[in-house]
Amino acid sequence: MTLYEAVFARHSVRQYTDKAIEEDKIEILNKQIDKINNDTGLKISLCINEPEAFQANKPNYGSFSGCRNYFVLAAEKGRDEDIGYYGEELVLLSQTLGLNTCWVALTFEKNKVPVKLSENEKIYDVIVLGYGKTNGVPHKSKPVDKLCRVTGEAPEWFLSGMKAAALAPTAINQQRFIISYDNGKIKAKALLGPCSKTDLGIVKYHFEIGSGMENIVWEER
């Protein structure tokens, strides 16, 4: 499965089977985490077989069950968008390896996550991963024309990017973002909403994969 195919195949999965993630897949994920941490200064890690943060010993925690593997997305404060962008890179990479995932900002116990952070660092989110009981279902989406603003005529790659952006996971499925195209210039903006800056990073990653364009230059506000 390619990353492009993964954009369409991925849905949040909250219930997991006992099947262990194979060592070779863990190695691929850890290699990518090391690369991201080196390139960006983020502090991402992978916890395997650590059920405590999800109280997997209780039959159901929220709508989650069987969660024992997760990425921990930590960094200094103010890195929300990067957390979204690189977290989603790991989500789609996991999907290409046949693994299911779910972003989690709230329904886990932060103090049970076994990572050491310095004073100015925090855990933003975790992303649960593993073999889901199902592959999830597509989320309801706003129409693409409500998620973008186009001045002039948008090229095909922009429309493909928007299709992938609409498939991006966002907190409470809020889709609080706008991507604008103005005669070749492209900009993405987070609207007000919980975690909407993290969502923006996720959406940009999807857009880049969907558009098939390398080196998209996002205009600053």
Ligand X SMILES: Cc1cc2nc3c(=O)[nH]c(=O)nc-3n(C[C@H](O)[C@H](O)[C@H](O)COP(=O)(O)O)c2cc1C
**What is the contact surface with ligand X in residues (CB under 6 A)?**
11-12, 14, 63, 102-107, 125, 136, 139, 169-173, 195, 198-199, 202
- Single-letter amino acid code for the residue at 208: E
Nearer to ligand X, 103 or 158 (CB): 103
Nearer to ligand X, 1 or 106 (CB): 106
Could you identify the residue written with the tokens 């200094």?
A: 76
| Residue 25 Cα distances to 46, 92, 95, 99, 109, angstroms | 12, 13, 11, 9, 26
The least distance separating ligand X from the CB of residue 114, rounded to whole angstroms, comes to 19
| Residue 43 Cα distances to 10, 90, 118, 121, angstroms | 24, 13, 11, 9
**Residues with Cβ within 8 Å of residue 195, at least 6 apart in sequence:** 80, 105, 125, 170, 171
Nearer to ligand X, 154 or 203 (CB): 203
The least distance separating ligand X from the CB of residue 151, rounded to whole angstroms, comes to 28
The least distance separating ligand X from the CB of residue 96, rounded to whole angstroms, comes to 17
The least distance separating ligand X from the CB of residue 15, rounded to whole angstroms, comes to 11
Nearest residue to ligand X, by Cβ distance, number only: 169
The least distance separating ligand X from the CB of residue 27, rounded to whole angstroms, comes to 26
Nearer to ligand X, 9 or 97 (CB): 9
Nearer to ligand X, 69 or 198 (CB): 198
